[in-house]
Structure 1
Amino acid sequence: MKWDLKIINGNVVDHGQVKRADIFVKDGKVGAVTDGKLEEDAVTVLDAAGKYVMPGLIDTHVHSRDPGPTYKEDFAHSTRAAAAGGITSVFEMPNTTPPVNNAENFELQKQNLQQKAYVDFGLWGICLGPLNLDQIGALNEKGVIGFKFFWGYAVHKETYQLMYNYKPGMENVIPPFNDGDVYEMMEEVSKTGKLFAVHAENNDLIQKLTTRVENEGGRTYEDLIAGRPNLAELLTVNSGIEMAKATGVRFHVLHVSSAEAVESVRKAQADGYPVTVETCPHYLFLSKEDYQEIGPKMKVYPPVKYEKDQHAIWEAMVDGTISHVCSDHAPHTEEEKDGDLWSIPAGMCGVESMAPLMLNAVNEDRISISDFVRLMAEEPARLFGIYPQKGSLQVGTDADITIVDMDQEMVIKREELHSKSKVTAFDGFAVKGVPTETIVRGKIIMQDGKITGEQGSGELVKPEAEEGQVQL
């Protein structure tokens, strides 16, 4: 037999182990992983001597704004950026125009993204309280990767878009949903067995404190944090945990930013409740102290906070409280991010720089290479029900593979990013450890920083296989 691809001489990282092995690929699947020699030829041979070969990396939190304000970003650009950053699958967030709030819009979004994707993708469904409670079951049947709820956010009556700067009394706006609505959403999502993932900030507290700070003339980054303190995240996390206990839903905290929220999740996990949490590179590598140098580019919600929070998040990531790391890729234009701290939007690019930042942490001995694979591939796949088809190198699974050179150095440069908008807080960061090849279902889509894949080659990922089963 002639293989389509073989990767030789690499250090293969999988299942918490590192071993010298060769990987053989046929028809988009892993055909063999062996530390012996197979004599068969291959159409393409990659020599990974001195490099690490691992399951394809997964970014579970991406906002490509497509359809929607695509002048900021679109799915072709975001998935090119993903490929450049060693990512083989992305999960697209549902707050698009229209949102993924029913079965019809799921199909429209699937068709829209399929023709643009460079990597594989999953689709989040959105929870809009009474507006689409009766659509949760249908979205589940269609194959959403999970359900997202923007806790505390108002919604535009016509477009269902989130109102980030909501004030009571605004016209044509549906106010934030109450706790009774949240409870009903959790009940409905619990029937699907999928994640109920929340942006966790208490809107009532934020509105009160932000108004107070603004009225007092606060304009600094410290004032921004004062308006969106750790308490705002903690209150929502605690409410969610208690409701999850009552409903049985799998409760997931998105982009955790505070020591207090991490500790609350840790306690719930110790008590045996199905509560999980993710974090992002900006909470790991930045703190309030960086704002003076970086400026408004690092504004995100929840805000990057204090060094004590950063340290607590690192500890929780290493000890397994935090399940995985994702980018929260949410681009805006340079013009939009250049203004008053209160009025500029929150968010920045992240899908391309995430892996290099985390690999640099491996080189600094903050995590091991096996930890990196656990956080960036294996655990995301397990959490979302797509393991071992994704997130592993088991024979018979998708040949999604990322190859990294731990000795290669580079400087992250905004102008070299593949996203449409280039805003990043990590411009100028020097890193050691770089993805050199990205392989999706056996096809090399990035090699040595150059995109070699084709637009439209990515496929929809559905959480159909139970853990331990492989669908061929």
Structure 2
Amino acid sequence: MFDLRIENGTVVTPEKSERTNIYVLDGKIAQLTDEVLEAKEVIDASGKLIFPGFIDPHVHSRDGGATHKEDFFHSTRAAALGGLTSLIEMPNAVPAVTDAERFKAQKANLESKAYIDFAMWALCLGRLNNDDLQELDELGVAAYKFFWGYAINKSNYNLVYNYEKGDPNVIPPLGDGEIYTIFEHVAKTGKPLAIHAENADVISELTSRLKVEDYENEYEALLACRPSVCEETVVKTGISFAKATGAHLHILHMSAKESVDLLKEAKEQGINVTGETCPHYLNLTNKDFLRVGTKIKGYPPVRYQADQDRLWEGVEQGIIDSIGSDHAPHTAEEKTGSLFKIPSGMCCIQTIVPLMINAVSQGKITANQLAAVLSENTAKLYGLYPRKGSVLVGTDADFTIVDMDLEKTIHMEDMYSISKVTAFDGFQVKGFPVQTIVRGRTVMKDGKLTCEQESNGEFIPA
């Protein structure tokens, strides 16, 4: 007898959509068939779409170091409520994931709180930890993150947004030579080197001569300091380094139309480059600042309608491989004030799936394309496939069941995260996740968490 039968739903993968019954045994997919076989539990998915479990590869849970904003207990439960079955946790916690010892400590910390399954990033610091990258690979990190153009706190390796040159407590942004050596070292692992692409020198120069009063509003002034050329120049250099070293370059949170064009050209040349964008770049533009205010601030910034249109083309055409939330919450107090002083980032792990389902309802992408960018592509990119991101016999029984007819309004107070500040408060969506299943166990049903265990999730080695 099987543990679970999911019947009468339409299974959606990147390749096809078909009616079939799914049978689960011991947390794995055991059989896919039209036959009706005996099972201890039955889920009737009539009229629903069944996706391979959705994965968010870009999550900052602030655990540890800033748990007044968020922690892994809350972020993973928010993820389940939003229809995610797995996530990949970013490395810039305190302590940062920079070597084997810190990786093991953070893995244990996250395992004690995880509600869904998770993988982990490692942080690249250049010569400070180039020699640690191979061991981190062997421990199962999914990918390596490099904050191109950012200064780093010398004591805890967290990002420093504003600093005085010569500050002994700050590691200044790395030069291209040292960045090139990072590419060389990561290339040896075969895993992705993902970059935050912003040119710090250009931003610094433009900011130094800025007069906010010359612009229509503060957000237009912010965009003037961080124009798309800041992203474009770093993407160009990154592609050149990837071509020269053989490293797999992954461009995170693409915000500019030029980046889509560069990614397309690089792929056509056979360079090992992939790309990600986020729901805020796909659903917001500079015009939304007047409506949502400072909640819109992120780095790189939300740009113009032309950028959003090209990003959607990139997703629809398969140029952009993956969608990540870039969940990075801050408190309401922290997000209040001048755009030039408040931190960047927002609460968005619980909204990534509904916003992308809504895009299917709007006809921007198909359900099959959604299965690619939120599941299969992401799992393949980060070395988690086929255990994750597939509907194949022998793989983890992770599913997101979606009601495409369900209409909802996103409310900030419904966010499970500690800090609930989101630019999508009041946003209306059609299509919504109604059941989240991790390794055969329902962890969310009809908007309610269904598991009582403190820790339900497992670490997924890549």
Specify the TM-score bucket, using the shorter chain as the normaliser.
over 0.9
How far apart in 2 are the matches of 1:57 and 1:183?
33
Establish whether residue 67 from structure 1 lines up as the match of residue 74 from structure 2. Answer: no
Query: Which secondary structure state, in structure 1, belongs to the residue aligned with residue 311 of structure 2?
Result: helix
**Equivalent residue, structure 1, for 2:247:** 249
5 Å-filtered alignment, 1:168-317, equals: 168-214=165-211, 220-317=218-315
Query: After alignment, is 452-461 or 74-83 more displaced?
Result: 452-461
Establish whether residue 148 from structure 1 lines up as the match of residue 145 from structure 2. Answer: yes
Establish whether residue 321 from structure 1 lines up as the match of residue 314 from structure 2. Answer: no
Query: Which secondary structure state, in structure 2, belongs to the residue aligned with residue 311 of structure 1?
Result: helix
**Equivalent residue, structure 2, for 1:127:** 124
Please provide the CA RMSD for this pair: 1.1
Establish whether residue 90 from structure 1 lines up as the match of residue 81 from structure 2. Answer: no
TM (norm. structure 2) is 0.98
How far apart in 1 are the matches of 2:230 and 2:263?
15
Establish whether residue 401 from structure 1 lines up as the match of residue 378 from structure 2. Answer: no
In structure 1, list runs of 5 or more residues that go unmatched: 464-472
How far apart in 2 are the matches of 1:16 and 1:367?
14
Does structure 2 conserve the Cα–Cα contact (< 8 Å) formed by 1:195 and 1:251?
yes
Q: CA deviation at 1:168?
A: 2.0
Out of 160, 177, 180, the residue aligned to residue 163 of structure 1 is 160
How far apart in 1 are the matches of 2:226 and 2:416?
31
**Deviations 1:163-190 (Å, cap 9, x if unpaired)?**
0123423341111111111011110000
Does structure 1 conserve the Cα–Cα contact (< 8 Å) formed by 2:14 and 2:369?
no
Query: After alignment, is 154-163 or 93-102 more displaced?
Result: 154-163
Does structure 1 conserve the Cα–Cα contact (< 8 Å) formed by 2:14 and 2:370?
no
**Aligned residue type for 2:300:** P
How far apart in 2 are the matches of 1:340 and 1:215?
11
**Deviations 1:386-443 (Å, cap 9, x if unpaired)?**
1111101100000011100000111000001111110100000011101000000111
**Equivalent residue, structure 2, for 1:334:** 332
Q: CA deviation at 1:38?
A: 2.8
**Equivalent residue, structure 2, for 1:456:** 455
Aligned length: 460
**Equivalent residue, structure 1, for 2:436:** 438
**Aligned residue type for 1:401:** F
Out of 137, 160, 174, the residue aligned to residue 134 of structure 2 is 137
How far apart in 2 are the matches of 1:81 and 1:213?
39
Establish whether residue 12 from structure 1 lines up as the match of residue 19 from structure 2. Answer: no
Does structure 1 conserve the Cα–Cα contact (< 8 Å) formed by 2:212 and 2:218?
no
Does structure 2 conserve the Cα–Cα contact (< 8 Å) formed by 1:23 and 1:30?
yes
Does structure 2 conserve the Cα–Cα contact (< 8 Å) formed by 1:153 and 1:166?
no
How far apart in 2 are the matches of 1:390 and 1:283?
26
Q: CA deviation at 1:217?
A: 7.0
How far apart in 2 are the matches of 1:61 and 1:161?
17
**Deviations 1:341-382 (Å, cap 9, x if unpaired)?**
100000001111111111111111111111111110010011
How far apart in 2 are the matches of 1:393 and 1:92?
24
Q: CA deviation at 1:160?
A: 1.4
How far apart in 1 are the matches of 2:294 and 2:14?
40
**Equivalent residue, structure 2, for 1:466:** none
How far apart in 1 are the matches of 2:334 and 2:130?
34
**Equivalent residue, structure 2, for 1:386:** 384
> Which segments of structure 1 move beyond 4 Å, counting only runs of 4 or more?
214-219
Q: CA deviation at 1:15?
A: 4.2
How far apart in 1 are the matches of 2:149 and 2:171?
11
How far apart in 2 are the matches of 1:422 and 1:306?
25
How far apart in 1 are the matches of 2:228 and 2:14?
35
How far apart in 2 are the matches of 1:213 and 1:6?
61
How far apart in 2 are the matches of 1:349 and 1:22?
36
How far apart in 2 are the matches of 1:14 and 1:340?
44
How far apart in 2 are the matches of 1:214 and 1:70?
36
In structure 2, list runs of 5 or more residues that go unmatched: none
Query: Which secondary structure state, in structure 2, belongs to the residue aligned with residue 334 of structure 1?
Result: coil
**Equivalent residue, structure 1, for 2:22:** 23
**Aligned residue type for 1:67:** G
Query: After alignment, is 44-53 or 8-17 more displaced?
Result: 8-17
Establish whether residue 81 from structure 1 lines up as the match of residue 75 from structure 2. Answer: no
How far apart in 1 are the matches of 2:88 and 2:413?
25
Does structure 2 conserve the Cα–Cα contact (< 8 Å) formed by 1:15 and 1:392?
no
Query: Which secondary structure state, in structure 1, belongs to the residue aligned with residue 345 of structure 2?
Result: coil
**Aligned residue type for 2:248:** R
**Aligned residue type for 2:5:** K
**Equivalent residue, structure 1, for 2:51:** 54
Out of 353, 362, 365, the residue aligned to residue 363 of structure 2 is 365
Does structure 1 conserve the Cα–Cα contact (< 8 Å) formed by 2:396 and 2:439?
yes
Query: Which secondary structure state, in structure 1, belongs to the residue aligned with residue 20 of structure 2?
Result: strand
Does structure 1 conserve the Cα–Cα contact (< 8 Å) formed by 2:410 and 2:427?
yes
Query: Which secondary structure state, in structure 1, belongs to the residue aligned with residue 403 of structure 2?
Result: strand
**Aligned residue type for 1:226:** A
How far apart in 2 are the matches of 1:175 and 1:363?
45
Does structure 2 conserve the Cα–Cα contact (< 8 Å) formed by 1:401 and 1:438?
yes
Query: Which secondary structure state, in structure 2, belongs to the residue aligned with residue 105 of structure 1?
Result: helix
Does structure 1 conserve the Cα–Cα contact (< 8 Å) formed by 2:198 and 2:230?
yes
TM (norm. structure 1) is 0.96
Query: Which secondary structure state, in structure 2, belongs to the residue aligned with residue 134 of structure 1?
Result: helix
Q: CA deviation at 1:130?
A: 1.0
Query: Which secondary structure state, in structure 1, belongs to the residue aligned with residue 242 of structure 2?
Result: helix
Establish whether residue 103 from structure 1 lines up as the match of residue 100 from structure 2. Answer: yes
How far apart in 1 are the matches of 2:342 and 2:81?
28
**Deviations 1:415-472 (Å, cap 9, x if unpaired)?**
0111111010000001110100000011100000001123311111112xxxxxxxxx
How far apart in 2 are the matches of 1:39 and 1:95?
47
**Aligned residue type for 2:294:** P
How far apart in 1 are the matches of 2:211 and 2:344?
17
**Equivalent residue, structure 2, for 1:44:** 41
Query: Which secondary structure state, in structure 2, belongs to the residue aligned with residue 336 of structure 1?
Result: coil
